[in-house]
Structure 1
Amino acid sequence: MTAVETDILAVAREQVLERGEALRYEQILAVLNTPDEQLEELLALAHEVRMKYNGPDVEVEGIVSLKTGGCPEDCHFCSQSGQFTSPVRSVWLNIPELVKAAKQTRETGASEFCIVAAVRGPDERLMSQMREGVKAIHAEVDIQVAASLGMLTQEQVDDLRDMGVHRYNHNLEAGRSYFPQVVTTHTWEERWETCQMIKDSGMELCCGGLVGMGETVEQRAELAAQLGELEPHEVPLNFLNPRPGTPFGDLPVMEANDALRTIAAFRLALPRTILRYAGGRELTLGDLGTKNGLLGGINAVIVGNYLTTLGRDPKDDLALLDDLKMPIKALNATL
């Protein structure tokens, strides 16, 4: 066992908590390899880092799919791909339905509403619907609007910014070395390029990934380190929920302790970033694990359902935040 493995929690306490310096790849890997008997100490350290650099507030977000299913890409975890036998078929929402969903999201106390489309990238029909939808939401709902529409051109980046999109989500999904095992219809580099354009535009970048897809611990550490290099405003952390009909449909669900170690490792790799609970947490962690993650580095949640899977009842998440004395971040604090 190396010195970095032996002393990693002491190193992380001094480096991250006291000096505010993120962990590097080798250190992230050491955190991911900590034994179960150190998990409670690790989560407590990650929580201290979260509280010091982000405070107790939790950012709450809701998401809705503007265009569901029929995606031409082959992301192996996703039941929206038109290449698999997954039971999701192409559906479009209209503008009144979008506005209704935004209102329902705001009623939970959420400050962010993300419009998602299952596409490689937006065509003119989708961009036109986004212009109309964002305008209608801003006219009727006091909420920030985010978007996730796949890979973008520079013109589309500028258009989304100008129409009032506050934040754009485009996940790396996996570390660069494992990405070809996850997606074959586009490259990791194409995703990275869209992320850089978003950052350069002045929009906030939301960029995270999905763990538990058969990647090694080393590749999980690689993803965290590459996100640290990218420095997104927000990192959504998803856990694989194996979907029938997809290439990853038979993979086992990630062990809860491994998921909690991953949460802590990502917090120590990204001390000042919004780290958001996203898809798969209910299946992977259950109620107790969800609480432990909020006490182990998480400081944002998606409430309600995800794109193709059910989430917890929003009332349960909001009650848990109240029990933990974690206030919902006010809308004016996100501007």
Structure 2
Amino acid sequence: MTSTSTTSAVPPADTADILAVAREQVLDGGTGLSQEQVLAVLRLPDERLEELLALAHDVRMRWCGPEVEVEGIISLKTGGCPEDCHFCSQSGLFASPVRSAWIDIPSLVEAAKQTAKTGATEFCIVAAVRGPDKRLMSQVAAGIEAIRNEVDIQIACSLGMLSQEQVDELAAMGVHRYNHNLETARSHFPNVVTTHTWEERSDTLRMVREAGMEVCCGGILGMGETLEQRAEFAADLAELEPDEVPLNFLNPRPGTPFGDLEVLPAAEALKAVAAFRLALPRTILRFAGGREITLGDLGAEKGILGGINAVIVGNYLTTLGRPAEADLDLLDDLSMPIKALNDTL
């Protein structure tokens, strides 16, 4: 896993070119950039973007290899969430168009089948809740059993904050990976969510790790955070040492408190992708929601050649993604092999 510490042999970011420092520290030494160093990367002028992306790609290839992990996601329970995450149209507290709905088990199995047909090795069951109640846990258990009977795929879950008992239940079900995003830097979190704390999310992640499940934890960029807070978030994640970091970009949703925020400029988003790779050289770094509106079709290629080594294919929870075929064709064009299922076990 990564470390944010630097060695005394590496000059500090303010006395040497940050990309030269990163080449020695991260590419050659495998040690992730510190918070201060990530900030220096985020402050690079746009004319150095291509150089930055090339270095991030070299780091990804050196410490992760060429394979790309493909994942599909499905919403088991949509809308009606009691939390006030300001980016989310599934909150029952906002006048957004998403309504509460459940998906049945046959539809869940069919979604897993279609996901597996793309070559994906991971299928994530998601629910818009503060945390799962008994009904939801029962539905998840039934869904996992039904999927296992018909589909050869790893199963992940994202069900909000968990109790220790629920963590143990999911581990016993054979859940491979659990997603629970910290969303943003600790210092910015109160501006994004007020109905629970950053620490409550962190507690769930600690229990997940201790139970032996893989930890998937990322967030959303472009929610009004400063560059300093973006660097802080990268350092937060490096300290957590997650197995996977999904990087989302805010797609402003009508009716939410963040519905009028501007979309993150493409160059700024790509700098962040590369900076997070340099902070997390060995981590699965996944393109997730918002990349289409933020980066467009060209951004998919630039991201995959700029540090990304995993993608979510198809649609997201409440927004449309790129067609799965477009991402798979791109990976083929770039000679990036899809990670095989037996490589994820």
Contact preservation (8 Å) 1:63, 1:116:
yes
Residue 310 of structure 2 aligns with an amino acid whose one-letter code is A
For the aligned residue pairs, the C-alpha RMSD in angstroms reads 0.8
CA distance in 2, matches of 1:224, 1:29: 9
C-alpha displacement of 1:3: 5.2
Residue 204 of structure 2 aligns with an amino acid whose one-letter code is T
Amino acid at match of 1:55: G
Written as runs of structure 1 = structure 2, the 5 A alignment for 1:273-284 is 273-284=283-294
Q: Indicate if the aligned counterparts of 1:5 and 1:34 stay in contact, CA closer than 8 A.
A: no
- Counterpart in 1 of 2:343? 333
Give runs of aligned pairs for residues 242-257 of structure 1, distance below 5 A: 242-257=252-267
**Aligned pair in 2 of structure 1 residues 5, 259: CA closer, same or farther (>3 Å)?**
farther
Partner of 2:151: 141
TM-score, normalised relative to structure 1: 0.99
The residue that corresponds to 1:298 in the other structure is 308
Give a deviation string over 1:77-135, Cα, whole Å, max 9, x none: 00000000000000001111100000000000000000000000000000001111101
What is the CA–CA distance in structure 1 between the aligned matches of 2:132 and 2:94, rounded to whole Å? 21
Amino acid at match of 2:306: G
User: Residues of 2 paired with 1:259 and 1:182: CA distance?
Assistant: 19
Code of the aligned partner of 2:281:
P
The structure 1 residue matched to 2:104, chosen from 88, 91, 94, is 94
Query: Partners in 2 of 1:67 and 1:278 — Cα distance?
Result: 19
CA offset digits 1:30-88 (Å, max 9, x no partner): 00001111111110000000001110000000000000000000000000000000000
TM-score normalised over the length of structure 2: 0.96
1:288 aligns with 2:282: no
Separation in 2 of the partners of 1:170 and 1:79? Answer: 17
Answering whether residue 183 of structure 2 is matched by residue 173 of structure 1, we say yes
Question: Does the 8 A contact of 2:70 with 2:312 survive in 1?
Answer: yes
Q: Pairwise mapping of residues 54-65 of structure 1 onto structure 2 (< 5 A)?
A: 54-65=64-75
Seen in structure 2, the aligned counterparts of structure 1 residues 220 and 330 have a Cα distance that, compared at 3 Å, is: same
Q: How many angstroms does 1:275 deviate by? A: 0.0
**Aligned-partner residue type, residue 40 of structure 1:** E
CA distance in 2, matches of 1:273, 1:301: 13
Alpha-carbon deviation of 1:289? 1.3
2:131 counterpart of 1:111: no
- Counterpart CA distance in 2 for 1:77 and 1:297 is 25
**Secondary structure, in 3 states, of the residue corresponding to 2:58?**
helix
Indicate yes or no: 2:211 matched with 1:233: no
Conservation of the 8 A alpha-carbon contact between 2:13 and 2:36: no
Q: Give the structure 2 partner of residue 192 of structure 1.
A: 202
Q: 1:221 to 1:5 in 2, by over 3 A?
A: farther
Letter in 2 for 1:196: R
- Number of residue equivalences: 334
Per-residue deviation at 1:4?
Answer: 2.6
SS at match of 2:111: helix
> Residues of 2 paired with 1:132 and 1:290: CA distance?
35
Please tell me the residue identity of whatever aligns with 1:310. L
1:240 to 1:5, Cα distance in 2 relative to 1, 3 A: farther
C-alpha contact (below 8 Å) 1:77/1:242 kept by paired residues: yes
Confirm or deny that 1:261 pairs with 2:271.
Answer: yes
Which AA in structure 2 matches 1:280?
G
